[in-house]
Amino acid sequence: MLKEALQKGAFVKHCPCSPGSVSCGYYNLNLQSGCPFDCSYCILQAYLDNKDQGVFYTNLGDLQAELGKFLAANKEVRIGSGELSDSLAYENVHPTAARMLELFQGFPEAVFEFKTKAVAIRALLEAREVPANIVVSWSLNPAPLIRAEEHLAPSLPQRLRALKAVQAKGYAVGIHFDPLVLFPGWQEHYRELIRALSRIVRPGQIAWWSLGALRFPPELKKHIFRRRESRLFWGELIEGQDKKYRYFTPLRLELFRFVREEIRARLSRHVPLYLCMEDAYTWNEILPELPAAEREINRYLYDSARQTGKK
């Protein structure tokens, strides 16, 4: 079900960060809300009254004016449309990608990210030129997790083919391993996923690659418990200081270290990695070369995206 409405709040918002977590300096552009995919861990189940309804905001003049004012006052901006919806999930029924490409051609100093699990990339491939400030990112997990937890979303092979096509067109690409999930055989499954990516992705075209361990607020538990086949509770979870359920710190560190080393061994030691929703202690343990401070992290990722293709 699709609906059009006026955006009565702000289009641009700082990406929310849990108390005690280090922010990466990202901003969200709320162009739409809702998602047709049915991922067991999706926070939209708790945030939105009707997650399955796609709502599209039509006051695009207000969007452009607000964005122009915001970008005039803020530099080194990384911004994307994947918080309250998947950036491309509704593209076949309510196209927006071409409009976003055109919009951000007018704001060349900002880096805009399409963040998606979808494979509706026609508008991206048909663009006459590839803007240097556009990143197209895919959220990925091992195939067994996609089948068990990411219902209605495209399969891993479908996503990898889309990523390969967008990369061949010349776009900078991003990868999101979020949520990373502990489940039986997780090491071998994540190793195989990274091996598959190493056969496709050109390290020099990677704008950034996020690592985020499974976490969710208490209000999401009831939604997950309805799914008896879910593997999300295989790893032991505790309530953290931010009131979200997380793996014990030693388990998170083991997960992050394993994935980090696999990425560096199979792609490059210079892949621009960052953590999502983690505290300074975890940053210093996993990525000690990058100061655990918002300004420095954002500059690092912004520069990485702007230099994609020159690496």
Contact 245, 238 (CB under 8 A): yes
**The pair of three-digit structure tokens given for residue 254, joined into one six-digit string:** 């083991």
pLDDT, mean of residues 187-203: 98
Residue with the bigger pLDDT between 118 and 226: it is 118
The pLDDT value recorded for residue 269 is 96
The top-level CATH class assigned to 2-306 is alpha beta
**Does the pLDDT of residue 309 top 70, yes or no?**
no
Is the predicted pLDDT of residue 225 greater than 80, yes or no?
Answer: no
Give 221 or 171, the one with higher predicted confidence: 171
What is the band of 224 on the pLDDT scale with cuts at 50, 70, 90? confident
Range 21-36 average pLDDT = 96
Sequence spans of domains, the chain: 2-306
**211 phi and psi, to 5 degrees?**
-125, 120
What is the Cα Rg of the chain in Å?
18
Q: What is the DSSP letter of 242?
A: T
Contact 40, 90 (CB under 8 A): no
Q: Return the pLDDT at 310.
A: 66
Q: What is the mean pLDDT of residues 282-305?
A: 97
* Cβ neighbours for 265, distance < 8 A, ≥ 6 positions apart: none
Q: Which two tokens stand for residue 20?
A: 């005690």
Residue 162 to residue 93: CA distance in whole angstroms? 18
Percentage of the chain exceeding pLDDT 70: 99
Q: What confidence tens digit (pLDDT) does each residue in 235-288 have?
A: 778 888 888 899 999 999 999 999 999 999 999 999 999 999 999 999 999 999
Enclosing H/E stretch for 234: none
Tally of CB atoms within 10 A around 199: 9
Tell me how far apart the terminal alpha carbons of the chain are, to the nearest angstrom: 43
Whole-number pLDDT of residue 247: 95
Q: What is the pLDDT of residue 46?
A: 82
Q: What is the pLDDT of residues 50-69, one digit of tens each?
A: 888 899 999 999 999 999 99
